[in-house]
Structure 1
């Protein structure tokens, strides 16, 4: 039987890896997505990061079954001549298919309703405590409730960004803007931009924005070579200032996490008022305007400046638990330099993630993200299923001799601090001829 198909090799496919010439392969069929990248709901960065490769596993992970029917219009007519599927990928795809047939991606449980009611209760109690009570400790408690509210809202925004938590896309977007932008002051557009890049390039030092925190933090000495961030399009300069901060990062880690929200506010504003194309820019700006209207107004209702400052700091302090959790999931995991590869999807997720072990009654507190590996492998899977699929994922990792790390919250903190301390000590020894200022000399000489 004559095969009339046209073939290209993987090496030929790799040549089509530019923004004006962007090809990918899915199950051995080659697609030209150059123009589509600008319209892609997940942004152009995930496509650019995996350009010129077979991206089957990533496509399966992030897209519902209905997405397959849209591929034909991008088909080039070519097939991959040397297309192969590893045993790990076959098992992963089989597992994903089983979950899909069981309807697990559509069964979301009642967690969203509970979460929305809980958020509403927290908000009402916080506002009541500020406006209707006079006690100092009641005001501080209200600040703590606000920080806790921000944590729960972040989980809702995360869920709605990965799968549709409401009945329609319109209502889903409304909940995103309302809970994210209006209640937390952090743009859902900014979150999608960074989070999609993080998922695709999990723990790549130059492609994953979640590991790019110079000058304050560095998880690996590889960052001391001033890598170029492919996400931000600029050099991550490791200079004398970075060296100073990184040298003590294991000490400053928790204080930095307490004020991490300030950076998120700044990043939101930088994106929304940049020249970059931002989906629903006007809606996002409107939501941010709502936040910066009610939040300062609420704080101003407190009786004096001492309470106002302490109220804000208390809310930041409580919410810092979530920022710490996000770093625990990745800081102490394996890192690498370079673009992600489509043919080792499963392996990269296992090496770059750490689960947080906890009792089932604490799942609401961690928002499902304690099952970080399960979430990275099946990002569209509602959080109510993550605990149930955890044993299956563990067995699959064991079968293919891949890491499955599940640590207690305390252990994960120790691992992260050890990682930061190791990099800190390396920073003190790195490039010793580097010019040092007087402050550097004083601190290092006298402790």
Structure 2
């Protein structure tokens, strides 16, 4: 018996964009994911941000081929009557299929083993320096090693969070807790919550939490209108305090990065104590307690309070290199206000990212994230492949007249400071000095 297809328009699909009525389309087939959003491994934020839209490109980016078979149970029976695919999306999907066929998403190389050995060496050297020496210089070097350990551990956590870095999902979960909560004190649950939202709504001022840093920083004068954060569900008030800090943000930027970890610890605490549904809350809490046991204990082994404070500050300052890197990838890129849209996935990722150019022998230092656009387009792709696909992505951007920005570390710093300085002068009301307004 042949059953004729039932159709709805994109406009009708767009009406199902609420938490209690959440529909999406993938390759023109319409799915009701209202209940699934509560169980979605990536959290409900990505689904809510793209609710009522065709999300094919985003689905391809974040899901392995094995995920397609689970869609049927959510199928509403409807198809999109006006379903169309842009030329850039066609090329993007073709590229993703070629990478999958070549097995690139599964071929991780030996980066996990290398990273574990490197981190173990760094952490051991740090602990040995604290316990086995009474020299001030050795203690400060140990603090620097700890900060560098946190940088490398964060890259490992990033790998585990985006794709199955370990042999199974269970071991991947354990690795995430150990890497994130136990060693760095930053919850892997918090990271997944914010990072998935960042990828979906890359550089949206009101949807991307990675740009919402008031009262300390603002990358655009749009924040002066006291935008409402759709991620945190609260107003980002641009009050006199925020105006003061933002007015001098180009001067305070690096000092703020040196103490950025304090905010991450606070965000972890707030999330774990919140009423939100948190996957593996108990494990995240236990892992965080482990960190706040060994870290203060290690610091207490130093001979006096002066060295203890300086040890922590040195570790934070070294780790600030990574916080700076994360902001260089996005602060000076294109920004916008409003929700992300599913039909311009490639365009939004290209507009909202900046690569950091470096020699191949420096790839370990950046953890693969110097290829920021490549990572945003293919977040499940192991970092070992990002350099090899970079020329292909560049060609695709050139073909469709899309930006591909790759700056040196120095140039990216200059561009970021220029963005912050422009917004700082605007905050002071010195509009005549704010050339090349960003935003």
Normalised TM-score (structure 2): 0.97
Question: Runs (4+) of structure 1 moved beyond 4 Å?
Answer: none
Deviations 1:234-277 (A, max 9, x none): 00000111000000000000000000000000000000010111
- Tell me how many residue pairs correspond in the alignment: 430
How far did 1:307 drift?
A: 0.4
Counterpart of 1:19 in structure 2 is 19
CA gap 1:232/1:430 in 2 versus in 1, 3 angstroms: farther
Counterpart of 2:434 in structure 1 is none
The answer to whether structure 1 residue 34 and structure 2 residue 34 are counterparts is yes
Counterpart of 1:112 in structure 2 is 112
The answer to whether structure 1 residue 377 and structure 2 residue 372 are counterparts is no
Counterpart of 1:443 in structure 2 is none
Counterpart of 1:340 in structure 2 is 340
How far did 1:4 drift?
A: 1.0
Counterpart of 1:324 in structure 2 is 324
Q: Distance in 2 between matches of 1:430 and 1:259?
A: 29
Counterpart of 1:176 in structure 2 is 176
Deviations 1:367-412 (A, max 9, x none): 0000000000000000000000000000000000000000000000
How far did 1:3 drift?
A: 7.7
The answer to whether structure 1 residue 414 and structure 2 residue 414 are counterparts is yes
Q: Distance in 2 between matches of 1:375 and 1:236?
A: 29
CA gap 1:400/1:3 in 2 versus in 1, 3 angstroms: farther
Counterpart of 2:250 in structure 1 is 250
The unaligned stretches of length 5 or more in structure 2 are: 432-439
Counterpart of 1:281 in structure 2 is 281
Deviations 1:111-142 (A, max 9, x none): 11000000101111000000011110000000
How far did 1:179 drift?
A: 1.3
SS of residue matched to 1:242? helix
How far did 1:61 drift?
A: 0.2
SS of residue matched to 2:347? helix
The answer to whether structure 1 residue 67 and structure 2 residue 67 are counterparts is yes
Q: Distance in 1 between matches of 2:178 and 2:344?
A: 37
How far did 1:165 drift?
A: 0.6
Counterpart of 1:96 in structure 2 is 96
Q: Distance in 1 between matches of 2:221 and 2:143?
A: 38
Counterpart of 1:241 in structure 2 is 241
Q: What is the correspondence of 1:161-240 to structure 2 with a 5 Å cutoff?
A: 161-240=161-240
How far did 1:430 drift?
A: 8.1
Normalised TM-score (structure 1): 0.96
Q: Distance in 2 between matches of 1:77 and 1:128?
A: 63
Counterpart of 1:444 in structure 2 is none
Counterpart of 1:388 in structure 2 is 388
Counterpart of 1:441 in structure 2 is none
Counterpart of 2:352 in structure 1 is 352
Q: Distance in 2 between matches of 1:50 and 1:166?
A: 30
Q: Distance in 1 between matches of 2:399 and 2:153?
A: 37
Q: Distance in 2 between matches of 1:430 and 1:228?
A: 25
Counterpart of 1:368 in structure 2 is 368
The answer to whether structure 1 residue 429 and structure 2 residue 429 are counterparts is yes
SS of residue matched to 1:41? coil
SS of residue matched to 1:23? strand
Q: Distance in 2 between matches of 1:348 and 1:170?
A: 33
SS of residue matched to 1:103? coil
Counterpart of 2:150 in structure 1 is 150
How far did 1:197 drift?
A: 0.1
Q: Distance in 2 between matches of 1:111 and 1:275?
A: 37
Q: Distance in 1 between matches of 2:215 and 2:177?
A: 31
Q: Distance in 1 between matches of 2:306 and 2:20?
A: 55
SS of residue matched to 2:362? helix
How far did 1:345 drift?
A: 0.2
The unaligned stretches of length 5 or more in structure 1 are: 432-447
Q: Distance in 1 between matches of 2:421 and 2:251?
A: 8
Q: Distance in 1 between matches of 2:85 and 2:165?
A: 33
